[in-house]
Amino acid sequence: MGKIILLDDLSINQIAAGEVIERPANVVKELVENSVDAGADKITIEVKKGGKTFIKITDNGKGIDKEDMPLSLERHATSKIKSVDDLEHTYTMGFRGEALASIASISNFTMISRTENEELGVKIVAEGGDIISAEEVQANSGTTIIVENIFFNTPVRYKFLKNDGTEFRYIKEWLEKFAMAHLDVSVKLINDSKTVFTSNGRGNIFDMVYLLYGKDVKENIIKVDYEQENIKVTGVIGTSVIARDTRKDQIVFLNKRNIKNSTLTASADQAFKGGGTGIGKHGFFILNLDMPANYYDINVHPTKMEVRFKDESKVFKVFYNAIKNAMLTKEFLGNSEVEEKKEAYVEKEFNFMTNHFIKPASLVPTNKMKNVSEDKSIIEREEKRKVEYKFIGILFRTYIVIEVGDEVYLIDQHAAHERLLYEQIRENYKNNLQNNTQMTLLSEVINLTHKEYEFVKENMDLFKKSGFDLEDFGENCIKINGIPDIEYREKTSARALFMDTLDEMLTNERSQGKDIEERFIATVACKAAVKANMDLTKQEVDKLIDNLLVLKNPYTCPHGRPTTIKFDKDKFSLEDI
Ligand SMILES: Nc1ncnc2c1ncn2[C@@H]1O[C@H](COP(=O)(O)OP(=O)(O)OP(=O)(O)O)[C@@H](O)[C@H]1O
Ligand SMILES: [Mg+2]
């Protein structure tokens, strides 16, 4: 008996429908997802000419019943749900009953399938969606689908395809992500008769990372395995060594489906903060969230890349905790001191972070994160950071040494000062303060190269908001009237600060948008900060430490280098000497 049904009109109208086949990679995605939905654990994908002329998917799944074969090509024909209400407890990749119909309608389509309890399989051939033959054939159990000459009957859409290499790259990139989430499925990708990618299906994420990213990355990842409130987070995160300039390596799956979601991105950003990831860098992660289907709505967009969580703040928190807990393991930190107090630590840090750092713009408007009053947590924090310490001295004219209780801290004076200045500039920048400029006694006109001049003109706003007072003087010249009003170590020349910042920004030009702001502020802070080998007076040290200790994240400089190293008293044992 067949299992596929045609959805009723009510359900059809409620399902996010629409064309999802724009290119060969979309065909591969839909067919491979059908294969896993059919329980396959071995899938072979063979393509020619970037999938434009030929795509063949073979699986060892449960196959399609004879009488269902023609029905499966109809629109809204699915075996996965009976009505839209079933989505609350459906975990299959597909549910719209549209993919095969869409694919068949724009190609020469062949499908061969046999279920385990049939002797013979069925082969149907369709052209532009019309079935032209159906016959019984010898076949392995499972399903094979061949899609040839995609868009043969819609030449305009064919014209939008990129060259074969690019189309193939889309296929490969998609399949690699699929393989990361489906570690127990072995996939093989063949391009123009060459095997390009295989995964063994043995379920090991470390093997997969090695395969896709190589040795260096594999050696810098840590396993995540966390569960809270019925949500399970598994996968890996990377140490700061492999933090990236882009978000390309921030990959997230929801019940093994690759999704894009700003709540999760924001949550990860918070969790990586303070972990040494560094300004403008993005933490590496490949994580899957397993949760009940009624916690979210995937029926938002036909590609199913978007999702709406019913309780954004819950998901935000669990994801944050999963990452933070992994970051606080011995493996990640290289020592075990925080490990015991982890849960309490993460909880506290989370409350603090979410009260101060969430940028509303990066979250969906419905977020309900602010449940603790700001004032209360500010007070808590002030109390926490009022630390009594004893100043011991300065080591190598570089490290400030202080004693706090049973611990000794070495504080890198440059990194610490840099951190401090960074916070000051950023505060001014964020609040767009008008009075954050220190006017120079004499304005200076600087002659720049054309490239430098263009950069300054284009980014005038960055300079101004950070506290520079600049004027365009024409002919590649800029006049400096003032520099950011922050606590310089000594009389910093306006020209040097301006030129150093400019140089640095131009040598690392890649970042854009928000990143460039962060990087700019970090650069100014770095250039203005006291360097190693500069002598500090006791008063200056006091001020530096006092100011540092009330910062939101005193532990790393804006570039992610630690400002502080801690030693426990019991590590100082004469027996070891
Ligand atoms: N490889 C396969 N093995 C077994 N059954 C399959 C396979 N491919 C498709 N089917 C059957 O054909 C039906 C239609 O597939 P189709 O991809 O069009 O819809 P769907 O997967 O139900 O929903 P969606 O459009 O969201 O992908 C499926 O519900 C399933 O019953
Ligand atoms: Mg499908």
Over residues 144-203, the pLDDT tens digits come to 999 999 999 998 889 889 999 999 999 999 999 999 999 999 999 999 999 999 999 999
Find out whether the beta carbon of 96 lies less than 6 Å from any atom of ligand 1: yes
Bridge partners, 286 (sequence order): 236, 251
- State the pLDDT at residue 368: 33
Helix axes 413-431 and 513-528, enclosed angle (nearest 10): 130
Domain ranges of the chain: 5-199, 206-380, 412-549
What CATH topology corresponds to 206-380? Ribosomal Protein S5; domain 2 (3.30.230)
Closest residue by Cα to atom 29, ligand 1, is 78
Q: What is the pLDDT of residues 124-146, one digit of tens each?
A: 999 999 999 999 999 999 999 99
Find out whether the beta carbon of 95 lies less than 6 Å from any atom of ligand 1: yes
Cα–Cα dist 302/107, whole Å: 20
pLDDT over 70 percentage in the chain: 79
Find out whether the beta carbon of 38 lies less than 6 Å from any atom of ligand 1: yes
- For residue 103, the ligand closest to its alpha carbon is 1
- State the pLDDT at residue 138: 97
Query: Could you tell me if 293 and 90 are in contact, meaning their C-beta atoms sit under 8 angstroms apart?
Result: yes
Which residue reads 């807990």 in tokens?
Answer: 325
Pairwise pLDDT comparison (201 vs 505), residue with the higher score: 201
Cα–Cα dist 92/81, whole Å: 9
Q: Note if the pTM is more than 0.75.
A: no
pLDDT band at 552 (very low <50, low <70, confident <90, very high): low
Mean per-residue pLDDT for 364-374? 34
pLDDT over 90 percentage in the chain: 44
Question: Which burial class, exposed, middle or buried, applies to 121 when counting CB atoms under 10 A from its CB (0-12, 13-18, 19+)?
Answer: buried
Find out whether the beta carbon of 312 lies less than 6 Å from any atom of ligand 1: no
Query: Could you tell me if 114 and 139 are in contact, meaning their C-beta atoms sit under 8 angstroms apart?
Result: yes
Find out whether the beta carbon of 79 lies less than 6 Å from any atom of ligand 1: yes
Question: Which burial class, exposed, middle or buried, applies to 107 when counting CB atoms under 10 A from its CB (0-12, 13-18, 19+)?
Answer: buried
Alpha-carbon distance values, 427 to 225, 233, 236, 420, 431 (Å):
36, 34, 34, 11, 6
Find out whether the beta carbon of 77 lies less than 6 Å from any atom of ligand 1: yes
Q: What is the pLDDT of residues 27-80, one digit of tens each?
A: 999 999 999 999 999 999 999 999 999 999 999 999 999 999 999 999 999 999
Find out whether the beta carbon of 100 lies less than 6 Å from any atom of ligand 1: yes
- Which residue from 232, 248, 329 is spatially nearest to 283, judged by alpha carbons? 248
* CATH numeric code, 5-199: 3.30.565.10
Find out whether the beta carbon of 71 lies less than 6 Å from any atom of ligand 1: no
Find out whether the beta carbon of 4 lies less than 6 Å from any atom of ligand 1: yes
Residue type, 338: V
- Give the SS3 label for residue 8: coil
Closest residue by Cα to atom 17, ligand 1, is 99
DSSP structure class, residue 510: -
Which strands make up the sheet holding 285-290, listed edge to edge?
221-228, 231-238, 285-290, 250-254, 257-258
User: ∠ at Cα 545 (544, 549), nearest 5°?
Assistant: 120
Cα–Cα dist 573/409, whole Å: 17
Distance of CA 300 from the midpoint of ligand 1 (Å): 19
Residue 221: which H helix or E strand, with range? strand 221-228
- Give the SS3 label for residue 172: helix
Find out whether the beta carbon of 61 lies less than 6 Å from any atom of ligand 1: yes
Bridge partners, 296 (sequence order): 309
Closest ligand 1 atom to Cα of 63: 4
Distance of CA 275 from the midpoint of ligand 2 (Å): 40
The phi, psi pair for 556, rounded to 5°, reads -135, 155
Closest ligand 1 atom to Cα of 100: 18
329: left (phi over 0), alpha (psi -120 to 50) or beta: beta
- State the pLDDT at residue 168: 96
Cα–Cα dist 442/246, whole Å: 41
Closest residue by Cα to atom 11, ligand 1, is 72
Pairwise pLDDT comparison (347 vs 236), residue with the higher score: 236
Query: 240-249, 282-291, 561-570 — which is least confidently predicted?
Result: 561-570
Distance of CA 375 from the midpoint of ligand 2 (Å): 51
Query: Could you tell me if 161 and 72 are in contact, meaning their C-beta atoms sit under 8 angstroms apart?
Result: no
- Which residue from 96, 122, 125 is spatially nearest to 30, judged by alpha carbons? 96
Among 72, 257, 304, which is best to mutate for testing ligand 1, by the most ligand atoms less than 8 A from CB? Answer: 72
Closest residue by Cα to atom 9, ligand 1, is 34
Closest ligand 1 atom to Cα of 57: 1
DSSP structure class, residue 80: S
Q: What count of residues does the chain have?
A: 577
Query: 21-25, 367-371, 501-505 — which is least confidently predicted?
Result: 367-371
Complete DSSP assignment for 504-521: HHHHT----HHHHHHHHH
Closest residue by Cα to atom 1, ligand 1, is 35
pLDDT band at 96 (very low <50, low <70, confident <90, very high): very high
Find out whether the beta carbon of 270 lies less than 6 Å from any atom of ligand 1: no
Find out whether the beta carbon of 114 lies less than 6 Å from any atom of ligand 1: no
Token pair for residue 27? Answer: 């065909």
- State the pLDDT at residue 376: 41
- For residue 73, the ligand closest to its alpha carbon is 1
Query: 207-211, 269-273, 435-439 — which is least confidently predicted?
Result: 435-439
pLDDT band at 294 (very low <50, low <70, confident <90, very high): very high
Residue type, 572: F
Find out whether the beta carbon of 35 lies less than 6 Å from any atom of ligand 1: yes
472: left (phi over 0), alpha (psi -120 to 50) or beta: beta
Classify domain 412-549 by CATH architecture: 2-Layer Sandwich (3.30)
Q: What is the pLDDT of residues 12-34, one digit of tens each?
A: 888 887 767 989 999 999 999 99
- Average pLDDT score over the chain: 82
Residue 74: which H helix or E strand, with range? none
Maximum C-alpha span of the chain:
94
Query: Could you tell me if 129 and 102 are in contact, meaning their C-beta atoms sit under 8 angstroms apart?
Result: no
